[in-house]
Amino acid sequence: MKHGHIKYLKNLIRSVKTNPIPPETEPRQLIPNDRIFEVHPPEDRFQELIPFCVVEHSPSQPKRNGRRTERLEPAIIDGVKNLQFLTEHYQQEYKYVLNFWLDNIEQDILSKGDFTGSPLDSGIVDQALIYIAKNERYATSQGATVEIRPGTVALVTDPAKKLSLYKIYIEVIFTDGIFEVERVPTLAMGRFEIEEPTEIVRSEEI
């Protein structure tokens, strides 16, 4: 897992809205902040925590790259100008599954089919897809670009057996990698110390 991925996914989960509880009139966050988890809670707590969402990490396979992918702004280190490059050691697709656990089919907020701008027009899956469509990429602090796309989505009925629960799961895929900033010193803006010239005497003059 990467911190930037988890932050993105939690913001996605928080973006999913549901009907307000009277007398409130504004759509409310479907999953409270304290019910967004990175590991599944014990099964005997499911009913107590409903609705909640679990961010699940799927296995991935790194692919060796080793190429420079970006040229960054030069940096001055100890008075010497250094060219900076972003080197991608490995390419990797990170796959996560968002498990929305619910006990009431009404909480899915069935989609009307047309999105007018109100989150209540769309179900959980549609709202998540709209969020991804509006946030398809972001830049890391190193300058690398991370791209995001949706994967499989599905509704699983009563997956917890006899708990009368169901879940909606949404796969979210990050195209990312393992990066390192490579610095190459240059002569530009360097400091040189010049010694006094040394007289060279030929042997016949001695």
Q: Residue 44 maps to which CATH number?
A: 3.30.2000
Q: Which of 37-46, 116-125, 152-161 has the lowest mean pLDDT?
A: 152-161
- Average pLDDT on 155-179 reads 81
- Average pLDDT on 174-190 reads 82
**Considering its fold, how many domains does the chain have in total?**
1
Query: Tens digits of per-residue pLDDT, 81-124?
Result: 999 898 899 999 999 999 999 887 665 655 666 666 677 778 88
**Using CA atoms, how far apart are residues 206 and 198, in angstroms rounded to an integer?**
16
- Average pLDDT on 126-153 reads 93
**Using CA atoms, how far apart are residues 32 and 168, in angstroms rounded to an integer?**
17
Task: Output the CA–CA distances (angstroms, integers) from residue 40 to 31, 37, 123, 158, in the order listed.
Answer: 15, 7, 23, 16
Q: Which helix (H) or strand (E) holds 46?
A: helix 46-49
Residue 199 has pLDDT above 50, yes or no: no
- Host domain of residue 29: 3-205
